[in-house]
Amino acid sequence: MSTVAEVLTEEPALAALEPEWWDLWSRCPAATPFQSPAWLLPWWRSFAPGRLRAIAVRRDGRLIGLAPLYLEDGALGRRLLLLGLGTTDYLDLLIDPEHAGPAAAAINSATIDLDWDAWELEELAPGAAALRLRCPEGCAEAAAGHSACPTLALAGPDDLSGCVPAHRRKRLRRALTMARKRGPVEVEEGADGFLDDLLHLHKARWSDRGQPGLLQDDAVQRFHRAALPDLLRSRLARLYRLRIGDSVVGVFHGLSAHGRTFFYLGGFDPDYARESPGALLVGHAIAAAIRESGSEFHFLRGREPYKYEWGALDRWNRRRSFRRGVA
């Protein structure tokens, strides 16, 4: 069998891979929505922080590996980095499990000819394909833990009794009772006007804390507006809005694939803080994931106390760094 690696240096060449890319992504059980073209193509078009150096590996013409990389020139030298950096909680390559050895070897070989001082592989979740790469010849490797990503193992019925602690469920029932005192309570699903509500309520939540939040940058907003249509078409998005009476008081932006749901962003109206709209939406999202026969609910990066109240346990992302010319 013939295995060939090609380095893609222009966005149109990467975009032309999209049908094959989806097919490869579907064959990789460890892949998250963050490795899909629905996420990474809009990311590159919105940010393009360096020079594209994606590596596509084919075996007898079929795509079996994709390393979505770019080269950044900066104060730290020339660094080879993964697309998605900064806005993405889980970064990785895509490697077909049936051809893991040849695909990984071809990616390693192709990177040797690229002009970099350091190859940084950040935010690698347990089971990430990039953890299987060999340290390139002539390089020294440094590896370490990176970010904690609290994760809830799903079990039991959709009343959450099989996986969420009793005290959290009791508080959830109390929040629902308080919300109903202010008006009819409804969780809506759908995209119409969702991003506008997300931008407004995310800003409101963080402004109440005296912080800017994650969505103030124009490029970040542009990215999310570009990504959402394909995330919806591919059925990866999980968008929920909480309405109390006539008011939208909370939003939940999640993603789901391969039995895992990911809580990416949220926001709520501080005037409804006593009704805990964020918690009501998280509870709804966990119940929905259980109904979809999901196995895990990921709260993603950060060790905020509320995540552990749901019963989540830390899982640590890893970082691998290969540096040339180090004895």
Residues 210 and 81 reside in one and the same domain: no
Residues 257 and 215 reside in one and the same domain: yes
Residues 106 and 246 reside in one and the same domain: no
Is the full-model pTM beyond 0.85?
A: yes
pLDDT in tens, the chain (327 residues): 789 999 999 999 999 999 999 999 999 999 999 999 999 999 999 999 999 999 999 999 999 999 999 999 988 789 999 999 999 999 999 999 999 999 999 999 999 989 999 999 999 999 999 999 999 988 999 998 889 999 999 999 999 999 999 999 999 999 999 999 999 999 999 888 999 999 889 877 666 566 666 677 889 999 999 999 999 999 999 999 999 999 999 999 999 999 999 999 999 999 999 999 999 999 999 999 999 999 999 999 999 999 999 999 999 999 999 999 764
CATH number of the domain at 203, please: 3.40.630.30
| Residue 272 token pair | 């409804």
**Could you tell me if residue 276 is left (phi over 0), alpha (psi between -120 and 50 degrees) or otherwise beta?**
left
Residues 123 and 61 reside in one and the same domain: yes
Q: Are 325 and 140 in contact (CB under 8 A)?
A: no
Residues 100 and 160 reside in one and the same domain: no
SS3 185: strand
Residues 197 and 261 reside in one and the same domain: yes
Helices (H), ranges, the chain: 11-16, 18-26, 37-47, 100-112, 166-182, 194-207, 218-233, 277-291, 305-309
* 77-82 and 139-148 strand pairing: unpaired
Residues 56 and 167 reside in one and the same domain: no
**Per-residue confidence (pLDDT) for residue 314, from 0 to 100:** 97
Residues 200 and 237 reside in one and the same domain: yes
Residues 136 and 169 reside in one and the same domain: no
Residues 209 and 140 reside in one and the same domain: no
Q: What contacts 285, CB < 8 A, 6 or more positions away?
A: 238, 240, 252, 254, 261, 263, 297
Q: Looking up tokens 């570009």, which residue turns up?
A: 226
- Domain limits at 73? 3-148+317-324
| Residue 276 token pair | 């805990």
| Cα 100 to Cα 153: distance, rounded to the nearest angstrom | 27
Residue whose C-alpha is closest to residue 39's, from 226, 253, 264: 226
* 69-74 and 77-82 strand pairing: antiparallel
**Per-residue confidence (pLDDT) for residue 206, from 0 to 100:** 64
Residues 95 and 158 reside in one and the same domain: no
Q: Are 53 and 70 in contact (CB under 8 A)?
A: yes
Residues 172 and 291 reside in one and the same domain: yes
Residue whose C-alpha is closest to residue 104's, from 31, 55, 46, 170: 55
Q: Domain tally for the chain?
A: 2
**Per-residue confidence (pLDDT) for residue 83, from 0 to 100:** 98
**Per-residue confidence (pLDDT) for residue 203, from 0 to 100:** 79
